[in-house]
A and B are shown apart, each in its own frame.
Chain A
Amino acid sequence: MKLYVPLDSAAVALGADDVAAAIRAEADRRGLDLTLVRNGSRGMVWLEPLVELETDAGRMAFGPMTPADVPALFDNPEGHTRALGLTEALPWMARQTRLTFARVGVTDPLSLADYEAHGGLRGLKRALTMTPAQVVQEVTESGLRGRGGAGFPTGIKWKTVHDAPAAQKYIVCNADEGDSATFADRMLMEGDPLTLIEGMAIAGIAVGATRGYVYTRSEYPVAIEMMRQAIAVARAAGVLGARVLGSDHAFDMEVRVGAGAYVCGEETSLLNSLEGKRGVVRAKPPLPALQGFMGQPTVVNNVISLASVPVILDKGAAFYQDFGLGRSRGTMALQLAGNVKHGGLFEAAFGLSLGEIVNDIGGGTASGRPVKAVQVGGPLGAWFPPALFDTPFTYEDFAAKDGLIGHAGLTVADDSLDMLAMARFAMEFCAIESCGKCTPCRIGAVRGVETLDRVAAGDASALPLLTDLCNTMKAGSLCALGGFTPYPVMSAVTHFPDDFARAREAAE
């Protein structure tokens, strides 16, 4: 009997460890030969803990499971009250295009044999038959853009590092996934860490870097542990080390853990933190590609960007670039979060409309009340009202509506959410997390909270001041923290004016 119980943080937070323990105990009690695999999550968080049973027809899903549901799993799986059918046939799974997340939830995250049986290492092996310049070219042609949010073409960044002469270059994976509503990096590191390792090794070969760092968050204990174990597995098998898969290329890597500073997700702040300094933003230029970690040429890429590289090298640039819409090529790992009926991770080609994502895939709100607003792209992203639900999910279309897709996290909120309070929170968050280097962010965020409190008290003159302040922050901040905080604030003001007028009307 072979069963799968996710070790993913979300599954564990909902009781997966207890379910796994109950399964072991029940198998012992019955004297059954049990193989229990702790896998990644399939991404259907509303069904976690989701247990899978291997059958001749495929893997059968059961969820959400509790320890009390376990004995029946052994008696009569087909008739189990939590039986959902074959996992791959569930609508949520069948509708996806899983390229980057193809193995997450499928394989044993720490089994290299399982990894290779599901297409792992094919991209790295192919890269080793190519020249570094050809590998860079392949990534450029795929159209892959930075999945952390900025959307900068990955191949162009790699070429800059490739062309920069230096004795030591670095690959730094930005796994400092601090945006609310985002958990794709975490899920990938927990569910298929070997893919990230393979992607970083390919990047190292392409640009001539021999050392890599994964900078992740102290809030992600499971991801840290899985990455560290996977690196040890890869090193023992010769995927990492002085001769990557027996080639003349050297590449090794390690995990570094941040310390609760949101701004360290900004790449220059991250580099300072990695160097053991305060996570203060650096002015650009110089670009990190030329003077990054320790002043050396450095590729800084998001987890999902790097984890998309193996499939691109395996199946070719044309295959990847065939998915998507406009200048947004390939797939995006959408993360449905907040007050949403079907929350989780859904990988799809760019181009779905926001309404399809929220209503068809997400099923609307969990509370059953009407959707009021959806914040797209994390705490620095704009709030979108249902009136804008026809916006296609691409970098350009969201920018055209004064928003951003960021790392593709979506926070759904129902009509009980007060948008003035959310605008205030955005400024408060910016004030707490500002690194303090530039004035518009450091001072502006504090003034923003005060100004919004005036709005809340019914002061009509405060709103134009807020608009002015947002313009200053947007144009004058060094990085996206101060520069993008105006997105959630001004989108709330623009699309939900009633929430800002209530106090004024009461005062008049």
Chain B
Amino acid sequence: MSATPSLGAAQTQTLHEILEAHRGMEGALLPILHAVQAAFGHVPEAALPIIAQDQAISRAEAHGVMSFYHDFRTEPAGRTVLKLCRAEACQSVGADALADHAREKLGIDWHETTANGTVTLEPVFCLGLCACGPAAMVNGKLVGRADAAKLDAILEEVR
């Protein structure tokens, strides 16, 4: 069994502050994982045993929960996370072609990050922008009626 890399002192302190802020909360694990990811950009492997101990669950359970949800990542994402909707309403207005364009332009597939670490491409199943698709989200910013030109402009900006 390989040793889990440990957290640095600052990260450990942040983690304990997060755990303290969620003390006494019913069903705190998801809010904790969200807070950890917001603080660190991902959920470091070394954080899981500490979270598990705090929540009085096994490390396997903590891993099971984290790995169940698409949102939580084990590695940091690129500086820009581009999410493209793949759901039916967006497909009916050309989301597939737009996704092909993005993958070709970036030279990566879904869930991958460009070699220079700038862009991570993620599929998303519905942003609730179904009457103005294709829909995209760029670092949390919503984009409606996305097309190749809009996407190229966004990618140019974040390069």
Contacts and interface: CB of A to CB of B under 8 A. Distances in A.
B70 interface: yes
Interface string B129-145: 11111010100101111
B17 interface: no
A176 B12 CA distance: 32
Interface in B31-65: 31, 33-34, 55, 64-65
B114 interface: no
A256 B26 CA distance: 11
Interface residues of A, number: 60
Given A220-B127, A256-B30, 9 more contacts: A48-B132, A180-B90, A180-B126, A183-B128, A183-B131, A275-B27, A278-B64, A338-B88, A343-B131
Contacts of A256: 27, 30-31
Interface stretch (A24-32, A148-156, A407-415): A407-415
Contacts of A261: 68-70
A260 B22 CA distance: 21
B29 interface: yes
Interface size class of B (residues with CB under 8 A): 35 or more
A323 interface: no
Interface in A244-276: 256-262, 273-276
Given A260-B69, A294-B26, A337-B89, A182 B128 contact: yes
Contacts of B127: 9, 13, 219-220
29 contacts: A10-B129, A10-B144, A13-B132, A13-B143, A45-B131, A180-B89, A180-B90, A180-B130, A219-B126, A257-B30, A257-B34, A259-B30, A259-B69, A275-B27, A276-B28, A276-B55, A293-B27, A337-B89, A337-B130, A337-B131, A338-B90, A338-B93, A338-B133, A339-B92, A339-B93, A343-B132, A366-B93, A375-B88, A412-B92
B71 interface: yes
Contact of B89 (A181, A277, A279): A181
B33 A259 contact: yes
B130 A279 contact: no
Contacts of B89: 180-181, 337-338, 409, 411
Contacts of B118: none
Contacts of B124: 219, 260
Interface string A404-423: 00000101111001000010
A406 to B, nearest CB: 12
A10 B126 CA distance: 12
Interface of A: 9-10, 12-14, 45-46, 48, 177-183, 186, 218-222, 256-262, 273-280, 293-294, 335-340, 343-344, 366, 375, 379, 409, 411-414, 417, 422, 425, 429, 433, 435
A14 B131 CA distance: 11
A278 B130 contact: no
Contacts of B29: 276-277
B72 to A, nearest CB: 6
B64 to A, nearest CB: 6
A259 B34 contact: yes
B91 interface: yes
Interface in B104-132: 124-132
B68 A45 contact: no
A362 to B, nearest CB: 10
Contact of A180 (B33, B69, B87): B87
Given A9-B127, A277-B65, A338-B93, A181 B88 contact: yes
Main secondary structure of the interface of B (DSSP, over half): loop
B88 A425 contact: yes
A355 B49 CA distance: 56
B12 to A, nearest CB: 22
A425 B86 CA distance: 10
A178 B127 CA distance: 8
Contact of B126 (A178, A274, A293): A178
For the complex of A and B, the 5 pairs showing the least CB-CB separation, nearest first, are: A343-B131, A276-B29, A180-B87, A13-B144, A259-B69
Contacts of A335: 130-131
A379 B72 contact: no
Contacts of A186: 128
A178 B70 CA distance: 13
B99 to A, nearest CB: 12
A221 B140 contact: yes
Contact of A177 (B69, B128, B137, B145): B128
Given A181-B88, A413-B92, A340 B71 contact: no
A297 to B, nearest CB: 15
A279 B145 contact: no
A14 B90 contact: no
A259 B72 contact: yes
A280 B65 CA distance: 10
Contact of B92 (A45, A222, A274, A338): A338
Contacts of B88: 180-181, 338, 375, 379, 411, 422, 425
Contacts of A275: 26-27
A344 B131 contact: yes
Interface string B67-101: 01111100000000000000111111100000000
B131 A218 contact: no
A211 B30 CA distance: 19
A207 B17 CA distance: 37
A9 B129 contact: yes
B68 to A, nearest CB: 4
